[in-house]
Amino acid sequence: MPEHVIDIVDLCKNLGGKQILNRLNLQVRKGETFVIIGRSGSGKSVTLKHIVGLLSPDAGKCNVFGIEMGSARRRDAESVRRRIGYLFQGGALLASMNVQENVALPLRELEKMSEDEILKTVRQKLDLVDLDKVEQKMPSELSGGMRKRVGLARAIARNPELVLYDEPTSGLDPIGTAAIDELIMNMKKKLKVTQVVVTHDMASARRIGDRIGLLFDGRIYFTGTPQDLDETQDVVVHQFVHGEVAGPMTEKSGETKRYNVAKTPGKNGEPPGAPEAEKGPETTT
Amino acid sequence: MIMRTALRMVASVEGAGHALILLMRTASWLPWLWRKRNETVAQMASCAFGGLLVSLIVGMFSGMVLALQSGNTLQKWGQEELIAIVVPAAMVREMGPVMTGFILAGLVGSTMAAEVGTMSVSEEIDALEVMSINPVYFLALPRVFALALVSPLLTLFADVIGIFGGAFVGDRILGLSYTTYIKHTMDTLELKDIYSGLLKAVVFGILISGVGCSQGMRARGGAEGVGNATMRTVVISFVFILVFDYILTWAVYQ
């Protein structure tokens, strides 16, 4: 049985009177790149924020490295966070610090390292994300793609075992998107990290994901390999993957399940798009 | 309209509570202050330069107006010399710390709320939390300590220039010489007046920075959220200054 780095069970979250997550179940295995896809506002980022403990669940459990983040003491939650790197959508670089200071920040604040070691590590991490001669630049002087790279360099500064990416390619041109995708694939190859990527870019999801989960109606509706995703006959998945306006995914479908999905049988005669999709096609990682 | 006003009042009371909680959490990080010494010095410089000029101008004119108003009345009874007692006492006990507090709330507290609020809406504070860097330690500690030190310093400047403003009006308008004015001031001003004023200034500095940081950290919803945080910082700080001014006056002089 594969080791699960993340094990989310029946996670529920209501924000501003809207049920964002509704009994969400998700397991992420050690060493895999799991991509969460879904419409804007479907709860992808909210799921990531539960994983790092920035949000607490209304109900259910979110276990990360065996610690339940919702009820963990601050010290335990921090010990888990030390093993996690998080790339925010806009990079979330501190605007008052230059690139070098941003990447060095977690090392200066949390590690007992000499200044020489810190600068050497910063250089290494910037090399890993293919950035050169930007150390003294301020975040406002960088392009969107470069800000994300610096954000990733900061996220991996302390050699995390799990890296979370929140919309890493949003707002980037196709070449920038491909470059970030390659970077994410390289992270797995070079650093052997487990990765969870949130995106609604299907091309990216297919390129980088070992497994892909579709978040719909507050839960993981479908899980499978990129190939499973392309082969499934499920109308919800089909609508999202092909970006069709007409279908069960409507503006209201995120609030209440009031659609009537005409499911067609999957390969094994079971509905491929069932909410309990973890039982569906398994990935070979 | 009434409902909106009531909601704003509730939000302000809630904001005041959050500020006091933040200040207690900031106090628990005091042993780590030495690690934030560079940021604290930078914040002190920023607060001092931000408020110095306005404090001096307001302090000077406060002293001059006090001297003019009280001097005109006292002159009717030939008691204009008393302005050398009234103006310094009023400046050092009340006008200096309260006016400087208002200036710092409007200039420095609102700036803190805007800075921290912008960090909040651009997920920089979330990023700190994810890196296991406590935002209270990282952002609030240097700001609160810096303003706690700078506030009495600016108050002292405002007091001194206000007293000299009174002396100027006494000399030019009321015919009271500088020597007489300063002699009366030195004879009547007590040490207790000075330290109570400076104590108020320290407390106001702590409260203003606490409100600014807590409102900034709670800012949500982009530019509008930052704007609201800034506005609430000024409102809550003003109320705090007046309430704590009364409490401290009562504690020191009763």
The tens digit of pLDDT for each residue in B18-59 reads: 999 999 999 999 999 999 999 999 999 999 988 999 999 999
Is the pLDDT reported for residue A263 higher than 60? no
Tokens 């293919």 map to which residue? A130
pLDDT at A1 over 70: no
Give B234→chain A minimum CA distance, Å: 24
- DSSP reduced 3-state for A55: coil
Strand partners, A24: A11
Nearest CA in chain B to A90: B122
A199: Cβ contacts below 8 Å, ≥ 6 apart: A35, A36, A37, A44, A165, A167, A168, A169, A170, A205
Cβ–Cβ gap B127/A92 under 8 Å? yes
Query: B92 with B197: CB under 8 angstroms?
Result: yes
pLDDT at A268 (0 to 100) = 42
Identify the CATH number of the domain defined by range A4-83+160-279: 3.40.50.300
pLDDT of residue A254 exceeding 60, the answer is no
Residues 6+ apart with CB under 8 A from A185: A33, A207, A208
Q: Is residue A147 a contact partner of residue A88, using CB atoms and an 8 Å limit?
A: no
Q: Could you tell me which residues are beta bridge partners of residue A27?
A: A7
The predicted structure's pLDDT at residue A17: 86
Rounded average pLDDT over B219-239: 92
Instruction: Tell me the average pLDDT across B226-231.
Output: 93
Q: Mind telling me how many Å the CA of A278 is from chain B's nearest CA?
A: 28
Question: For residue A81, which residues of chain B lie inside 8 Å, CB to CB?
Answer: 129-132
The residue among A54, A75, A148 with the most chain B CBs within 10 A of its CB, best to mutate, is A54
For residue A252, the model assigns a pLDDT of 59
Q: Residue A93: its chain B contacts at CB < 8 A? A: 124, 127
Identity of the residue in A52, A93, A95 whose CB atom sits nearest the CB atom of B130 = A52
Within an 8 Å CB–CB cutoff, is residue A141 touching chain B? no
Q: Which pLDDT band, with edges at 50, 70 and 90, does B8 fall under? A: confident
Interfacial B residues in 61-120 facing A (CB < 8 Å): 118-119
Count of beta carbons in the 10 Å neighbourhood of residue B57: 13
SS3 B174: coil
The answer to whether residue B95 scores a pLDDT higher than 70 is yes
pLDDT over 70 percentage in chain A: 87
> Is A90 in the B-facing interface, judged by CB distances under 8 Å?
yes
β-pairing verdict for A211-216 and A219-224: antiparallel
Which neighbouring-strand residues pair with A220? A215
Interface test with A, best of B34, B123, B143 (most A CBs within 10 A): B123
Q: Look at B133 and A82 and tell me if their CB atoms are within 8 Å.
A: no
Q: Does A83 touch chain B (CB under 8 A)?
A: no
Mutate to test the interface with B, among A45, A96, A103, A165 (most CBs of B within 10 A): A96
Over the range A30-54, which residues count as b (16 or more CB within 10 Å of their CB) and which as e? Answer: bbbbbbbbbbeebbbbbbbbbbbbb
Per-residue pLDDT at A39 exceeds 50 = yes
Q: Which of B37, B124, B136 best probes binding to A when mutated, by most A CB atoms within 10 angstroms?
A: B124
**Nearest Cα to Cα of residue B207 among B168, B241, B251:** B241
pLDDT digits (tens, 9 = 90+) for B158-210: 999 999 999 999 999 988 899 999 999 999 889 999 999 999 999 999 999 99
Q: Are A126 and A103 in contact (CB under 8 A)?
A: yes
- Percent of chain B exceeding pLDDT 70 equals 100
Q: What per-residue confidence (pLDDT) applies to B104? A: 96
Task: State yes or no: pLDDT of A256 exceeds 50.
Answer: no
Look at residue A2 and tell me whether its pLDDT is greater than 60.
Answer: no
Rounded to a whole number of angstroms, the distance from the CA of A94 to the nearest CA of chain B is: 6
A14 CB neighbour count, 10 Å cutoff = 13
Residue B221 has pLDDT above 90, yes or no: no
A94 touches chain B (CB under 8 A): yes
Q: Span B2-18, mean pLDDT?
A: 84
Measured CA to CA, the distance from residue A211 to residue A209 in angstroms comes to 5
Distances (CA, A) of B184 to A209, B1, B92: 83, 53, 15
* Mean per-residue pLDDT, A182-195: 89
Q: What is the pLDDT of residues A58-77, one digit of tens each?
A: 999 999 999 999 888 888 98
Short-list B145, B149, B254, B146, CA closest to B201: B149
CA distances (Å), origin B128, targets A155, A165, B86? 11, 16, 51
* ipTM, interface predicted TM-score of the complex: 0.81
**What does the pLDDT look like over B109-158, one tens digit per residue?**
999 999 999 999 999 999 999 999 999 999 999 999 999 999 999 999 99
What percent of chain A is predicted at pLDDT more than 90? Answer: 52
* pLDDT computed for residue B230 by the predictor: 94
3-state secondary structure of A234: coil
Distance from A242 to chain B by nearest Cα, in Å? 32
A270, A264 Cβ separation under 8 angstroms: no
Whether B107 has a pLDDT exceeding 80, the answer reads: yes
Extents of the domains making up chain B: 2-253
pLDDT on residue A253: 52
Does the beta-carbon distance from A110 to B133 stay under 8 Å?
yes
pLDDT value at position A95? 92
B132 shares contact with chain A (CB less than 8 Å) = yes
For A174, residues 6+ apart whose C-beta sits below 8 A from its C-beta are none
pLDDT 10s digits, A121-159: 999 999 988 888 899 999 999 988 899 999 999 999 999
- CB-nearest to A54 from B118, B122, B126 is B126
Mean pLDDT across chain A: 84
State which residue of chain B sits closest to A92, comparing Cα positions.
Answer: B124
Task: Give the CA angle between residues B239, B242, B244 to the nearest 5°.
Answer: 100
Residues of B in contact with A51 (CB under 8 A): none
Q: Do A110 and B138 touch (CB under 8 A)?
A: no
> Distances from the Cα of A119 to the Cαs of A38, A50, B38, in angstroms?
39, 32, 19
